[in-house]
Structure 1
Amino acid sequence: MLPLRRVLNPFRKQRLWASTSQFGFVELETVRCSLETCTSEYDGSGTMVTDGSRFLKQFFSTRCNSPKSLMGAGCFSSLAGTKSSGEDSDDLDEGFSELESSTASVPSEGNHVLDDGDDDLSSEPDLEVDNEDIDVSRPGELELSETEGDHDKKYVGRADSRELSKAILAAPRLPVHKVVGKWIEEGNELTRSDIASTMLSLRKLRMFGRALQFSEWLESSGNEFGEREHASRLDLIYKVRGLQKAENYLESIPKSFQGEIVYRTLLANCVSVANIKKAEDVFNKMKDLGFPVTTFACNQLLLLYKRCDKKKIADVLLLMEKEDVKPSLVTYKLLIDTKGQSNDIEGMEKIVETMKEEGKEPDFAIKCLLAKHYTFAGLKEKAENLLKEMEGIDIKESRWAMYSLLPLYADLKKADDVGRIWKICEPNPRFLECVAAIEAWGKLNKIEEAEAVFNTMSKKWSKMSSKHYSALLQVYANHKLLDKGRDLVKRMAESNCRIGPFTWDALVKLHVDAGEVGKADSILQKATEQNSLRPLFTSFMTIMDQYAKNGDVHNAEKMFHRMRKVGYVSRARPFQSLAQAYINAKTPAYGFYDRMRADNIFPNRALAAQLAQIDPFKKTAVSDLLE
């Protein structure tokens, strides 16, 4: 451990965790290795760490270049479709947890078959898509579980487990309790199987409000709730009513059911909104209650700091070593993506080497990450070789991988390969393949080809949802095709499509790029007022950045306040944009640093430089002469 301490120590007075090993980062000065400044090398001497923690050595063994963007993608390759580039990924609202699940937008090799209707990747949040595919098996999606012997335990009776969810979907304007009551009056029986299936269906469709109503009805009807049921309710409350309401609900749960599952659900919710202080408080509370430090909890913190404060990643890794917490595949994905975002390709490859030494082979998701980072680092040959390896000997046998390969080839500007793969999919395309093809053609500036894929979709799926339109709308937004974008939105409205956060985001971008920032602001304001869904983080930032560019401090401050109001707090990015507004307006900002400290935000180099420019008390050569 001593060599590790020496390597991490050069930048500040060393003080490791107290015996409680808590994350009191504000009060406790811990050893941190900044990805922006860490230049130390391991000399290989001494006893480092146990085999299970060797990835710590590899993670800090190479020079960490300054990241191009401190707020990079929060998920893997979209862990969700994620949009894995830029703030998009971090800010998709719901993804109960990308962790412990396969990368969205990156299929698992064991799951080769995708239903035509499997469109989660690009679904409107209710979603976060997270740009993410919804993996209903992931730990975050806690449902009323069906345990052994429960098949015979009836709450009321028995029916086809899919019929109740169909009844709820068929009556979108009726309260769920009335739909369920009518369904039971018709002679149907309600079993645990019905409950689990219905809850699962509502979650998969991102109908979290309806799922919450169903959960509330179950409890009010006298059904017993255990820890998993309470955890599921807490997660739904967060998705529908926000983090504060979820915290309040936890306090109302009987002490006997306030277990690890409930707290890790709340932890994941705090991470989802990038609330560093609350996430750390929940983590410390879990330790105070005697819950073990798990890989899941550590991965949540890694994801949080990867998004918001990369310097703290060192703290988490040291804690994992101290508590003998073994890294999972998700841990390696996070570290690889962090290195890739920092343009530290050598460090990224060493993480992969360590994985292999510890018996873990890179899966398809990790290979997609590697290919993406090779491409943006300019190592196109490495990226191409990796993509050919991912295709396999016969690309037709790798049908499940198509929708991941399409955008990756587009990043490499390989139009021929995009066309080759799409030609295989075109006779019987799946939803995700169509979305990926539209995205790929858009990256290649081939609008007609993207529109042709959309037309193929419209022929195959006679009734399309907003999910089907979103991909093409984003292409129009990225290419500033305002008229085409407006026409497509009108077409969506005529088809009675539900318009959600992704559609709003595209509309905002379209109008801002057309110079109509006031109209974009109005669209976002109406969307926020008329819907229970939260707009994407990028929607706010697109408008706020334009106000900052114009030096419009008043409207930039209003947008900053609106972001906080809907829950986007504890992030450096909005402060950077707001500071730029003051700079462009040539106006000093009083109390700016205090505002940041109140949110537990510490400036990086870029933000520190901005703060110096707007400091009302800064010294200049002239001011010194006049004093």
Structure 2
Amino acid sequence: MAKRQIPLFNRVLVEKIIPPYKASAGILHSEKITKWNYGEVLVGSAACDKNGNSNSMKNADTIVLSKGHATELGHGDKKSNCFYLEGSNTTSSLVQLKSYSCGPTSLKSFLWSRYLSSQAGANSSDWENDLEDGFSDLEVPPGSADSVDGSGKEDDEELISEVGELEEYDETEESSLDPGDVEGNQDGVKKGSRRPYSQLFKIITETPRRSVTSALDKYVEEGKPLRRAEISLALNNLRKRRLYSMALQFVEWLETSKKIELGEWYYASRLSLIAKVHGLWQSEKYFQKIPESFRSELIYRTLLATYAAAVNLKKAEEVFYKMRDLGFPITSFACNQLLLLYKRANPKRIAHVLQMMEKENVQPTAFTYKMLIDVKGQANDIPGIEQIVEMMNEGLEPDSQIKALVAKAYISAGLKDKAEATLKEIEGENVQENRAVCRFLLPLYAALGKADDVERIWNVCDANPHIAECIAAIEAWGNLGKIEKAEEVFEKSPKKWKSSSTYYSTMLKVYVDNKLLAKGKELVNRMAQSGCRIGPLTWDAVVKLYVDSGEVEKADSILHKVTLQYKIRPFYSSFMAVMDEYAKRGNIHNTEKIFRRLKEMGYFGRMKQYQTLLQAYVNAKIPVYGFRERMKADNMYPNKTMAAQLKDSYASQNTIISELLA
């Protein structure tokens, strides 16, 4: 009879972990990691160090092995890769790695240490199981329109790919309508207090779709400039407003008009826009048409960003590995794309990317830090966030957006005192002179329930507000349940803003969140009458409005018409709102229909849609046959929650079969 391994008091059994020769994604170097020895606790629940302090070791923890502290076990001359540690010989420095860390490769750099790649694992198991696909507020002020567009925690998009250069800021920043935020481009359009005027942008947006080509031809015939800077500015403005189909039409005109020389910047921009408008399949076809001489690092990282945005884990990793095979340098942009991808699809792999960045000497950018803070925030790992900020202070001062993310994490964790202190730090000594931070402060004070502070900050902006400040104020008053104040801000805004779908959508979301469905429908009618261009952001709010009013069939019909008639790609969250409602009702036919549409729209590799589909079968009390195999075919694997549901489903199926055969 085999002997069982029995944990002894103050002693644990550890199995040494053999580092992988190369990660499955190909992102680790081929050299084996021999710098550290570390192991996983097999048996044992706790250990005390020589001073009597508990190190709280438990099964599945990963710890550093050190000579003199660990005794190797063996059988005869054979080594077993197993060790035992006595608590009296351990120190707190040994017990530093939690369950899913690969182990640090350096103690010098905090980024690659346990704080980023491991400690969250102790707090985030439930979060991993329930992880939805979105990416919260990175590169977006909390309270900008992004927080109302469905792309926040559910469907964030990839880092923007600008004409000629892929910049690292989030495409979901609808608040870019605010003249106080301008991203430059390589042709010299500088950041400034006001967004540069683009006549091309005005022509494209104000001309009927069928007449845009002739209007652009006329623009050139009149001898007006068609320089790279002007093209970049127009495209940037179109992207910021999510007018992707217009941007693609403009880019296609650039080629057919033969007024400029096509370069890699052109192919990269068109590749990105095709993915947004027509989906991955069409973008892959276009990639094959790009001349080999133009398939530079820029083209490949654009393709990488496209797959990362679609959460297509397999193809994104293939592109990254291909880039390495071609000898392209590993850039912070490419690494950030992998971090975004793994953040959504497999958080355990984040540690691999961080290790690779250190090994290749790729410096983290502000976006990298924001992403890692967001990861820690979702896991409620406050010590981890504070360590990241401390590390940033050594070389990169945290900006207002980073501080806003930290404050939001404090609020989520219930640490109101720390949140308030952070908000005061954001304000500075004189918020009147530091007005740019108001759009960050408004929603955060609202989240703390501080109506007086919301009023105080809004008074700073009230006399001459920017659109982003108005959007933040509408959202803040809505979160506080003060609908009249939100309406007051909305109604007193300049007339020109009333043509902004973002502005309408913010107010519409307030009505939806507060169950004011009649007012919401009235606002939708006002939008239609105003001639406002309605994009995915607005349709998302409209769909949720009808779902919340119990009219899911109407919401479904709207999604269908938007896709077919207006050639718009609705947000992932729009589909999921309808799918969730069908699943609650146990309506398998319509749940499967939405699941199929998600794939047709290019929304692959997201666990949420599989969870919802499975829930539809559970609610309908219908056996689920071959669901694991179905997921495997899509390169998806059930998490713990789904695995438990499938196990229960299979058990009920066996019971039914047994009853039939009895």
* TM-score by shorter chain over 0.5: yes
| 1:369 Cα offset (Å) | 0.8
1:257-314 CA-to-partner distances (Å, cap 9, x unmatched) read: 1010111111111111222122111111111211122221111111111122212212
1:412 lines up with 2:434 in the alignment: no
Q: Which residue of 2 aligns with 1:402?
A: 438
Alpha-carbon distance change, 21 to 615 in structure 1, aligned in 2, over 3 angstroms:
closer
SS of 1:527's equivalent in the other structure is helix
The C-alpha deviation readout for 1:211-264, integer Å capped at 9, x for no partner, is: 323322333344432222221221222222222222222211121110101111
Which of 635, 639, 645 is matched with 1:604 structurally?
A: 639
Matches within 5 A, 1:449-488: 449-457=485-493, 459=494, 461=496, 463-488=498-523
Determine the structure 2 residue equivalent to 1:271: 308
Match of 1:156 in 2: none
Shift of the 52–514 alpha-carbon distance from structure 1 to 2, 3 Å rule, reads same
CA distance in 1, matches of 2:554, 2:161: 34
Cα distance, 1:93–1:533 mapped onto 2, change above 3 Å = farther
Using the TM superposition, name which of 611-620 and 380-389 deviates more.
611-620
Give the match for residue 26 of structure 2. 22
Matches within 5 A, 1:59-78: 59-60=116-117, 62=119, 63-68=122-127, 69-71=130-132, 73-77=134-138
C-alpha deviation, 1:170, in angstroms: 3.7
Match of 2:417 in 1: 381
Q: Which amino acid in the other structure matches residue 176 of structure 2?
A: D
Closer, same or farther in 2 for the Cα pair 1:168/1:622, shift >3 Å? closer
Q: Is the 8 A contact 1:105 1:403 kept in 2?
A: no
Residue 436 of structure 1 and its aligned partner are, at CA, apart by 0.5
Note closer, same or farther for the CA distance 1:312–1:617 as it changes in structure 2 (3 Å cut): farther
Name the CA shift for 1:72/1:231 in 2 (closer, same or farther; >3 Å): closer
Instruction: Give distance in 1, aligned partners of 2:217 and 2:656.
Output: 77
Instruction: Give the counterpart of 2:402 among 366, 373, 393.
Output: 366
Aligned equivalents of 2:178, 2:247: Cα separation in 1:
20
- After superposition, where does 1:206-605 map in structure 2 within 5 Å? 206-222=242-258, 223-356=260-393, 358-457=394-493, 459=494, 461=496, 463-605=498-640
C-alpha deviations, 1:186-228, integer Å up to 9, x for none?
A: 4546444544444444444443333323322333344432222
How many residues align structurally? 571
- In structure 2, how many angstroms separate the alpha carbons of the residues matched to 1:32 and 1:488? 60
- For residues 551 and 299 of structure 1, the distance between their equivalents in structure 2, rounded to whole angstroms, comes to 39
Corresponding residue for residue 79 of structure 1: 140
| Distance change in 2, residues 1:621/1:329 (3 Å) | same
SS at match of 2:433: helix
Q: Distance in 1 between matches of 2:527 and 2:571?
A: 20
Tell me the secondary structure at the aligned position of residue 83 of structure 1.
helix
Describe the SS at the equivalent of 1:91.
Answer: coil
- Call closer, same or farther: CA 1:58–1:262 in 2, change over 3 Å: same
Q: Residues 221, 59 of structure 1: CA spacing in aligned structure 2 closer, same or farther, 3 A cutoff?
A: same
1:183-202 equivalent positions in 2, closer than 5 A: 183-188=219-224, 190-202=226-238
For 1:405 and 1:10, how far apart are their aligned partners in 2?
48
SS in 1 for 2:604: coil
Distance in 2, Cα, partners of 1:236 & 1:345: 38
**Structure 2 counterpart of 1:58, from 115, 118, 124:** 115
Say if 1:10 and 1:611 are closer, same or farther in 2 by CA, change over 3 A.
farther
Partners of 2:389 and 2:596 lie apart in 1 by 42
- Give the Cα–Cα distance (whole angstroms) in 2 for the partners of residues 239 and 134 of structure 1: 24
Please say if residues 78 and 89 of structure 1, whose CA atoms lie closer than 8 Å, have aligned partners that are also in contact.
no
Once the two structures are TM-superposed, the CA of residue 463 in structure 1 deviates from its matched residue by: 4.7
Query: SS where residue 635 of structure 2 aligns?
Result: coil
> Does the 8 Å contact 2:110/2:391 carry over to 1?
no
Q: For 1:466-515, what per-residue CA distance to the aligned partner results, in whole angstroms no more than 9, with x for missing partners?
A: 22211110011111211101100111111111122222221222222222
State whether residues 551 and 584 of structure 1, in contact with CA within 8 Å, keep that contact through their aligned partners in structure 2: yes
Residue 176 of structure 2, aligned match among 120, 123, 126: 120
Q: Which amino acid aligns with 2:370?
A: K
The amino acid that maps onto 2:640 is R
1:546-593 Cα shifts (integer Å, max 9, x gaps): 111111111111111111111111110001111111111111111111
Shift of 1:72: 6.0
C-alpha spacing 1:321/1:447, structure 2 compared with 1 (3 Å): same
Q: Which moved more, 1:222-231 or 1:472-481?
A: 222-231
Whether the 8 Å contact between 2:112 and 2:355 is mirrored in structure 1 is no
Superposed displacement of residue 429, structure 1 = 1.3
User: 1:415 Cα shift?
Assistant: 1.0
Match for residue 7 of structure 2? Answer: none
Whether the aligned pair in 2 keeps the contact of 1:579 and 1:614 (CA below 8 Å) is no
Tell me the distance in 2 between the aligned counterparts of 1:269 and 1:333.
21
8 A Cα contact 2:263 2:294, kept in partner: yes
- Looking at structure 1, the residues matched to 214 and 328 of structure 2 have their Cα atoms a distance apart, in angstroms, of 40
Q: Displacement, 1:618?
A: 6.1
Query: Matches of 1:122 and 1:509 in 2, distance apart?
Result: 26
Q: Distance in 2 between matches of 1:76 and 1:552?
A: 33
1:439–1:475: 8 Å Cα contact kept in structure 2? yes
Q: 2:93 aligns with which of 39, 44, 51?
A: 44
More strand by share: 2
One of 144, 150, 155 as aligned partner of 1:91: 155
Cα deviation for residue 351 of structure 1 reads 2.4
Letter in 2 for 1:456: K
**Displacement of 1:360:** 2.7
**2:52 match:** none
Q: Tell me, yes or no, if the aligned pair for 2:313 and 2:341 is still in contact at 8 Å.
A: yes
- TM-superposed CA distance for 1:535, in Å, is 0.9
SS at match of 1:498: coil
Matches of 2:330 and 2:351, distance apart in 1: 16
Structure 1 residues 11, 562: closer, same or farther in 2, change over 3 A?
farther
RMSD of aligned Cα (Å) = 3.6
Residue pair 1:21, 1:319 contacting (<8 A) in 2 also: no
Structure-2 change in CA distance of 1:86 and 1:386 (3 Å): farther
Pick closer, same or farther for the CA change 1:20–1:135 going to 2, 3 Å: farther
Between the two structures, name the one with larger relative contact order (CA 8 Å, sep ≥ 6). Answer: 1
Once the two structures are superposed, residues 95-140 of structure 1 have per-residue CA deviations (whole angstroms, 9 ceiling, x without a partner) of 536996457899xxxxxxxxxxx943699xxxxxxxxx986447xx
SS at match of 2:113: helix
Residues of 1 paired with 2:425 and 2:225: CA distance? Answer: 52
Q: Which has the larger radius of gyration?
A: 2
Checking the alignment, whether the CA contact within 8 Å between 1:548 and 1:577 is kept in structure 2 is yes
| Contact 2:137 2:152 survives alignment (8 Å) | no
Do 1:237 and 1:246's aligned partners in 2 also have CA atoms closer than 8 Å? yes
- Pair 1:56–1:518, CA change in 2 (3 A): same
Q: Name the SS for the 2:327 alignment partner.
A: coil
The residue number in structure 2 matching 1:28 is none
- CA gap of 1:17–1:372, structure 2 versus 1, over 3 A, is farther
